[in-house]
Amino acid sequence: MTPGKIPPTTVQRLPLYLRCLVQASAMHMPVVNSVQIAEMAGTNAAQVRKDFSYLGEFGTRGIGYEVDSLITHLSKELGLTEHRRVAIIGFGRLGSALQSYPGFDERGMKVVAVIDADPAKIGTVSDGITVESADDLEEIVKRERVEIAIVTVPGKYAQGVADRLVASGVRAIMNFAPVQLVVPEGVEVRQADVAGELQVLSFHLNPRRTLA
Amino acid sequence: MTPGKIPPTTVQRLPLYLRCLVQASAMHMPVVNSVQIAEMAGTNAAQVRKDFSYLGEFGTRGIGYEVDSLITHLSKELGLTEHRRVAIIGFGRLGSALQSYPGFDERGMKVVAVIDADPAKIGTVSDGITVESADDLEEIVKRERVEIAIVTVPGKYAQGVADRLVASGVRAIMNFAPVQLVVPEGVEVRQADVAGELQVLSFHLNPRRTLA
């Protein structure tokens, strides 16, 4: 089977599979089967096999998947053969918590720039990175070859920041501001929505419904 | 159609629909159709109609959905008729950013307790809430009738905290610690995974693949 297009719901699960495989590798498992992966990932084996089928011809029936070669392949699919260059725009409590978020490095992400508009923060050094001025955003993005921007500015500034990021060539934005960003075709935005996650939890507390 | 079981992927989208409907209501739109909702939510109209079909008999063919009654209904489905009582366990930068996360209140969430293990933080007041000691977790959970816990403690403490929360009767946990929590049947965990979100963005930067 020639690798073709991958459905968004499958893409969404690839980071989790990768994390499980790295864990299996750390536990010195050379081979895993779909049942084991499903157990680690909290899904079912049929789903795992279907998701992996989009990636091409992998695994041996009755034996399983070679952990290390699957890690290599998934990393390639996710474009993680080199560290992705990440900028954090907005260095409040959330931005600063994200900069020191454990596991960015081992999961292929490198924070290369931190940007804020507050003169009191500009010029301070955090984890080896100097906070730079939002006035210089375009210049910083180009100098650091930023590929992914994490936006944690207040809601009213988020769209303006996004526009400037896109104009500077950034094509991937993770938005923590509580507004829906409008971006041109070809730019990918992921919206963090903690309140929405809590609402999904709230659904499960509701005794009137059970899940399909 | 009698409301029945709702697939998890639909549940996942309900908070977004609710947000769009609240926005439509704020814009004084008494009625919206599935095309308009899809546009606001960034999905397609068929998906919207299918998702809403699980909620029962709504909308009028050729006219659309009554915004306010759909808001009421979605809120009920999500168990948001009263504010959900939320505790934040771990009051570092992330925990403190989350406490002041905009929109918790208007989206049905009320932070009722903040807990940390650091003696320097215990007793301090933040946004009207006194930080309390992790030693008293069980007591606080019961006193405040905590329904949802947000866990932002370091990874090595997360499972222990989760065990104590579950033993105290908490059935919904949002976990920001970078570890997979093990909880008994009937307890719902949502795992925040910022690095995973960035990896999905990275996939989209990869020129070798396009999405289905």
Summarised one tens digit per residue, pLDDT across range B121-158 is: 999 999 999 999 999 999 999 999 999 999 999 999 99
Q: What would the mean pLDDT of B51-74 be, rounded to a whole number? A: 86
Q: Do B147 and A205 touch (CB under 8 A)?
A: yes
Q: pLDDT band at residue A103, thresholds of 50, 70 and 90?
A: confident
From the number of C-beta atoms within 10 Å of its C-beta (0-12, 13-18, 19+), residue A103 rates as middle
Q: What is the pLDDT of residue A211?
A: 52
Tell me the chain B residues in contact with residue A79 when contact means C-beta distances shorter than 8 Å. 202-203, 205-206
pLDDT (average), residues B45-70? 86
pLDDT band at A1 (very low <50, low <70, confident <90, very high): very low
Give the pLDDT confidence score for residue A3 in this predicted structure: 47
Confidence class for position B34, pLDDT limits 50, 70, 90? very high
Nearest CA in chain B to A4: B209
% of chain B beyond a pLDDT of 70: 96
Residue scoring higher pLDDT (B124 or B64): B124
CB contact under 8 A, B202 and A7: no
* B155 contacts on A by Cβ (under 8 Å): 102
Q: Which residue of A has its CA nearest to B96?
A: A93
> Å from A145 to nearest chain B CA?
13
**Residue of B6, B77, B197 lying closest to A174 (CB–CB):** B197
pLDDT at residue A181 in the model:
92
pLDDT at A212: 47
User: What is the distance between the alpha carbons of residues A29 and B174, in angstroms, rounded to a whole number?
Assistant: 30
CB contact under 8 A, B206 and A108: no
Q: Please state the rounded mean pLDDT for residues A138-164.
A: 97
Which among B101, B103, B148 is the nearest to A202, CB-wise?
B148
Partners of residue B147 in chain A, C-beta under 8 Å: 202, 205
Mean pLDDT of A182-200: 93
Distance CA A128, CA A71 (A): 30
How far B94 CA lies from chain A's nearest CA (Å)? 5
Q: Which helix (H) or strand (E) holds B9?
A: helix B8-26
- Selecting from A18, A147, A174 the residue whose C-beta is nearest the C-beta of B205 gives A147
Angle of helix A45-53 versus helix A34-41 axis, rounded to 10:
110
- Chains A and B form CB pairs within 8 A to the count of 208
> What's the mean pLDDT in A150-178?
96
Check residues A212 and A47 and name the one with the higher pLDDT. Answer: A47
Q: Do A103 and B78 touch (CB under 8 A)?
A: no
Which stretches within A54-154 are classed as H helix?
67-77, 93-99, 137-143
Mutate to test the interface with A, among B78, B94, B121, B156 (most CBs of A within 10 A): B78
B200 closest CB neighbour out of A15, A192, A193? A15
Strand ranges of the sheet holding A188-191, from the earlier edge strand across to the other edge: A125-126, A129-133, A109-116, A84-89, A148-151, A172-175, A188-191
Q: What is the pLDDT of residue B211?
A: 52
* Distance between A90 CA and the closest CA of chain B, angstroms: 12
What mean pLDDT comes out for the span B2-20? 84
Burial of A55 (0-12, 13-18, 19+ CB in 10 A): buried
Cβ partners under 8 Å of residue A111, min gap 6: A86, A87, A88, A99, A104, A127, A129
Best mutation target, B152, B201, B208, to test chain A (most A CBs within 10 A): B201
Phi, psi of A106 (to 5 degrees): -70, -15
Q: Domains for chain A: give ranges and CATH numbers.
A: 8-77 (1.10.10.10), 84-196 (3.40.50.720)
Q: What is the pLDDT of residues B86-127, one digit of tens each?
A: 999 999 999 999 998 878 998 999 999 999 999 999 999 999
Determine the pLDDT at residue A209. Answer: 55
Instruction: Specify the DSSP element, H or E, that contains A17.
Output: helix A8-26
pLDDT higher at A102 or A205: A205
Interface contact flag, A197 B190, Cβ < 8 Å: yes
pLDDT value of residue A4: 62
How much is the average pLDDT of B13-24?
92
- Give me chain B's average pLDDT, please: 91
Beta strands per DSSP E along chain A: 31-32, 65-66, 84-89, 109-116, 125-126, 129-133, 148-151, 172-175, 188-191
List CB contacts (< 8 A) between A55 and chain B: none
Q: How far is B63 from chain A (nearest CA, A)?
A: 26
Give the distance from CA A186 to its chain's centroid: 17
CA A11 to centroid of chain Cα atoms: 11
- Tell me the pLDDT band of B209, cut-offs 50, 70 and 90: low
Chain B residues in contact with A42 (beta carbon < 8 A): 180
Query: pLDDT at residue B1 above 50?
Result: no
Contact B79 A206 (CB under 8 A): yes
Chain B residue with minimum CA distance to A178: B102
* B122 or A3, greater pLDDT: B122
The answer to whether B129 and B99 are in contact (CB under 8 A) is yes
Is the predicted ipTM greater than 0.95, yes or no? no
Q: Which DSSP symbol is given to A105?
A: G
